[in-house]
């Protein structure tokens, strides 16, 4: 077979003449041309202006693919704690779901059903007293989940008898940047406990010192971003119980379990940090970190229906049904949630325990 390569090369470059690539004949590339002959080879990649002409899909693919070669290798990136390896089945499901819009629950009711199942499963994993009726949702990441939880605390504080007399505040330790974003965007004071000496996290004493009648919540982190340490949720809850007894301040806890929420239940099941503590009203966790889902999946779960104020639930009419939504985003891909469900079904408690155990041994060396 005379190769397309040869035919095109001789057409493009003449017989032995040396021709600069930018003098390659106009219109010479066809859909079957090799990528090397494509128009993009002789031109810089479009960067600032919207391209005027179309190019062949293979050429466009090669161009984008090659641009991405300059990135780091994600398998060597341990810094974001996010998932960088998935089973082939997960890739298949992602491919099958790329066109399913998570928000369009009427059109894709089964996708919505998988999300609801995951909400109940995660609520159960975090020892909800009533997992079958748990309220919660998937989000793009723990940042969105944290913002929703913060908004619920804010809305809740408006409902309780105790009226705020100033700017609402949240008490926390060395939190993730998402809490700073929440505080700034939604006008909440972040009372961050500074690290001191060997104490690299919050302590019950330091928490109580900063609580007052304007405190809408305390946010311990299960798996601090710098050290992956667990902040002592139960001890903090006890200290807040005492505070309530002494001063009548009933302050809820939200646990930012972005990383620890899918670690502690599997390898430290006796650690009490979750809904076993009545004061813990909501928890977020990143499915795409140790939950092993592909990037773009986290969870926020409220303890009981009444802990998620109705103000935060929206009923969308334009997509056919009247299904309530909680998340901040509208259109969002469904594959991550389908794959999270796959992971739960595929691994179960035992499988996750094995994976997490193996990973923690690797980390400790």
Ligand X SMILES: *Cc1c(COP(=O)(O)O)cnc(C)c1O
DSSP state for residue 300 in the 8-state scheme: E
* Phi and psi torsions of 199, nearest 5°: -85, 105
Name residues whose C-beta falls within 8 Å of residue 263's C-beta, 6 or more positions apart in sequence.
Answer: 223, 290, 356, 360
Query: Which residue from 256, 291, 300, 339 is in contact with ligand X, where contact means CB under 6 A?
Result: 256
Q: What is the DSSP letter of 325?
A: E
Residues whose CB falls within 8 Å of the CB of residue 349, separated by 6 or more in sequence, listed in order: 265, 266
In 3D space, the residue among 320, 337, 321 whose CA is nearest the CA of residue 329 turns out to be 337
- Of 209-217, 221-229, 262-270, 341-349: span binding ligand X (CB under 6 A): 221-229
Size of site (CB under 6 A) for ligand X: 15
CB of 343 to ligand X, least distance (A): 16
Query: How near is the Cβ of 157 to ligand X at its closest, in Å?
Result: 22
Minimum CB separation of residue 232 from ligand X in Å reads 15
Q: Which residue stretch of 136-144, 205-213, 231-239, 353-361 sits at the interface with ligand X (rule: CB under 6 A)? A: 136-144
Question: Binder to ligand X among 136, 141, 232, 294 (CB under 6 A)?
Answer: 141
Binding map of ligand X across residues 163-182, x = CB under 6 A, - = no contact: -------------x-x----
DSSP classification of residue 86: -
Q: Is 190 in the site for ligand X (CB under 6 A)?
A: no
Shortest distance (Å) from residue 108 CB to ligand X? 23
Alpha carbons 139 and 298: distance in angstroms, whole number:
5
83 binds ligand X (CB under 6 A): no
DSSP letter string, 43-70 = SPPP-SS--SS---HHHHHHHHHHHHTT
User: Of 39, 83, 142, 343, which lies in the binding site for ligand X, with binding defined by CB under 6 A?
Assistant: 142
Compute the least distance from the CB of residue 61 to ligand X, in Å. Answer: 29
Q: Taking the CB of residue 356, how many other CB atoms lie within 10 A of it?
A: 20
Contact flag: residue 193 with ligand X (CB under 6 A):
no
Burial label for 328, CB within 10 Å (0-12, 13-18, 19+), is: middle
Site for ligand X in 258-317 (CB under 6 A): 258-259, 286, 298
Task: Note every long-range contact of 109-112, with CB atoms under 8 Å and residues 24 or more positions apart, other chains counting.
Answer: 111/334, 111/337, 111/338, 112/323
Q: Give yes or no for residue 225 binding ligand X (CB under 6 A).
A: yes
SS3 call for 302? strand
Quick one: 180 or 199, whose CB is closer to ligand X? 180
Nearer to ligand X by C-beta: 33 or 144?
144
Residues that bind ligand X (CB under 6 A): 81, 141-143, 146, 176, 178, 221, 223, 225, 256, 258-259, 286, 298
């Amino acid at each position: 077979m005379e190769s397309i390569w040869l035919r095109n090369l001789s057409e493009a470059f003449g017989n032995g003449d040396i021709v600069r690539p930018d003098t390659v004949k106009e219109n010479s590339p066809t859909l079957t041309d090799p990528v090397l002959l494509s128009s993009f080879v002789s031109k810089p990649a479009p960067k600032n202006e919207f391209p005027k002409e179309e190019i062949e899909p293979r050429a466009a693919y090669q161009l984008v693919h090659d641009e991405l070669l300059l990135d780091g290798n994600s398998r060597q990136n341990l810094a974001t704690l996010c998932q960088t390896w998935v089973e082939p089945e997960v890739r298949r499901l992602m491919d099958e779901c790329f066109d399913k819009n998570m928000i369009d629950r009427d059109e894709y009711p089964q996708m919505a059903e998988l999300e609801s199942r995951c909400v109940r499963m995660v609520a159960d994993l975090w020892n909800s007293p009533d997992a079958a009726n748990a309220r919660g949702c998937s989000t793009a990441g723990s940042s969105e989940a944290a913002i929703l939880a913060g908004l619920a605390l804010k809305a809740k504080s408006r409902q309780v008898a105790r009226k705020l007399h100033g700017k609402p505040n949240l008490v926390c330790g060395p939190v993730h940047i998402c809490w700073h974003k929440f505080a700034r965007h939604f006008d909440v004071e972040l009372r961050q406990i500074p690290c001191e000496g060997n104490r690299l996290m919050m302590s019950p004493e330091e928490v109580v010192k900063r609580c007052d009648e304007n405190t809408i919540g305390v946010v311990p982190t299960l798996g601090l971003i710098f050290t992956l340490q667990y902040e002592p949720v139960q001890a903090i809850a006890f200290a807040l119980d005492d505070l309530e007894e002494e001063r009548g301040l009933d302050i809820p806890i939200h646990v930012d379990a972005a990383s620890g929420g899918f670690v502690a239940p599997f390898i430290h099941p006796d650690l009490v940090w979750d809904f076993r503590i009545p004061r813990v009203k909501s928890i977020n966790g990143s499915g795409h970190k140790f939950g092993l889902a592909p990037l773009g999946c986290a969870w926020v779960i409220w303890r009981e229906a009444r802990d998620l104020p109705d103000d935060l639930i929206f009923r969308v009419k334009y997509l056919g049904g009247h299904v309530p939504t909680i998340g901040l985003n509208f259109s969002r891909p469904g594959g991550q949630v389908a794959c999270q469900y796959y992971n739960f079904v595929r691994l179960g408690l035992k499988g996750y325990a094995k994976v997490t155990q193996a990973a923690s041994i690797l980390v400790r060396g």
